[in-house]
Structure 1
Amino acid sequence: MTNVLVLGAAGHIAKFARADLIENSDVHMTDYLRRANRLQLLDPSRETVVEGDATDKAALIKAMQNTDIVYANLAGANIEQQAKTIVAAMNQQQITRLIWISTLGIYDEVPGAFGKWNHSMLDGGYLQTYSAAAKVIEASDLDYTIIRPAWLTNHDEVTYELTQKEEPFKGTEVSRKSIGVLVSRLVQEPTKHIKESLGVNKPNTDGDKPAWY
């Protein structure tokens, strides 16, 4: 049985990933978050809850015992420090597989008017800190997959396409459910997309900005 450590387990994307893994796999998940009361377990027989902060190396090392895959669904101005701590803890525990949620635009890869709009919305710290965190992951020896979603929707749908780091980003939006299912698929097929940074968008959503703006 595969053991997955879910960092930031109360997040919306993480909820979809957990639900898909419960339905379509036999993995066991350790749900790691700062406040356990925020989390509703989907299957108590296959989920264990651990309270902790993603910058607490000792707590992470303890939570990573017997872990095969780390899935990080994190946020915050200290995301670079979180990345450094997670990489260090994984190295100490000799865990190599990491799935990391980032954001679009960290390589200035979003073209045209949408790219300019994205900069106007996310510059001022957000893109810079997420870019710095991605550099930490990419400089590591881990078997990482970085996921860069388009602007997120709550649509009940799973439809997405992928672009690579060196390719222009496509589309403007994607559902949180789609990203969660992608994470689940990577957990179930952990040799896919190793050392890749994936742009993820819903097909045919090109535009100057997301449709709801």
Structure 2
Amino acid sequence: MTNILILGAHGHIATLARKQLLKDSDARLTLFLRNAKRIKDADSKRETVVDGDAANANELADAMKGQDVVYANLAGHNIEAQATAVVTAMHTAGVKRLIWISTLGIYDEVPGAFGKWNHQMLDGGYLETYGAAAHVIESSDLDYTVIRPAWLSNEDSVSYELTGRNDAFKGTEVSRKSIADLVTKIALQPSQHVRESLGVDKPGTEGDKPSFY
């Protein structure tokens, strides 16, 4: 039985991944978040809810004990500090496998007019901090997978393609449900995509910007 720790467990993608993991596997989940009372539907037989701060390496290390996979769906201006705390805590707890959600554009890998638009929308504190956080993860000795979604939609479908770290990004958008599906597949088959950074988009969505802008 796989033990999976979800950091930022109240987030939209994390919630979708959590429900899919419960449905598609017998994995046991630890749900780590600020204000744990926000999760009101935990399955007491398979889920443990932990109230904690993802920038606190000691709290993280306690939650990581006995875990097989850490899935981090974190956000905020201090994302680099959170990344540093996650790496430190994983070393302390002796856990190697990490799935880390980032964003497109951190390597300036988005070409053309969409790349320019993406910079206009995300420069000035977002791309820079998320890029710095990804650098912390990629500079570690962890068995990480960095996931770089295109602009996120709430479309109720799963359709996505992957690009590598050194590939040009393709489409402009992807559903949160698709990212949750990718996270679930990697968490349940953790030998996949080790030490890779994956761009994720919905095929056929190339353009100057996402359809919902």
Normalising by the residue count of structure 1, what TM-score does the alignment of the two structures yield?
0.98
**What's 1:97 paired with?**
97
**What's 2:87 paired with?**
87
Deviation at 1:42, TM superposition (A): 5.0
Partners of 1:151 and 1:39 in 2: how far apart?
26
Letter in 2 for 1:5: L
For structure 2, the 5+ residue unaligned runs are none
Deviation at 1:172, TM superposition (A): 0.3
Number of aligned positions between the proteins: 213
Partners of 1:54 and 1:142 in 2: how far apart?
17
Deviation digits for residues 56-93 of structure 1 (CA, Å, limit 9, x no counterpart): 11111111111111000000010000000000000111
**What's 1:151 paired with?**
151
**What's 2:196 paired with?**
196
RMSD of aligned residue pairs (Cα, Å): 0.7
Counterpart check, 1:182 vs 2:197: no
**Structure 2 vs 1, CA of residues 203 and 128 (structure 1 numbering), >3 Å: closer, same or farther?**
same
Normalising by the residue count of structure 2, what TM-score does the alignment of the two structures yield?
0.98
Partners of 1:74 and 1:66 in 2: how far apart?
21
**Aligned with 1:9: secondary structure?**
coil
Counterpart check, 1:28 vs 2:48: no
**What's 2:41 paired with?**
41
Partners of 1:128 and 1:146 in 2: how far apart?
16
**Structure 2 vs 1, CA of residues 159 and 53 (structure 1 numbering), >3 Å: closer, same or farther?**
same
Letter in 2 for 1:149: P
**What's 2:15 paired with?**
15
**What's 1:74 paired with?**
74
Equivalent pair of 1:4/1:71 in contact (CA under 8 Å)? yes
Equivalent pair of 1:41/1:47 in contact (CA under 8 Å)? no
Letter in 1 for 2:64: M
Partners of 1:40 and 1:166 in 2: how far apart?
41
Percent identity over the alignment is: 63
Equivalent pair of 2:64/2:90 in contact (CA under 8 Å)? yes
Equivalent pair of 2:42/2:48 in contact (CA under 8 Å)? no
Q: Which runs of at least 4 in structure 1 moved beyond 3 Å after TM superposition? A: none
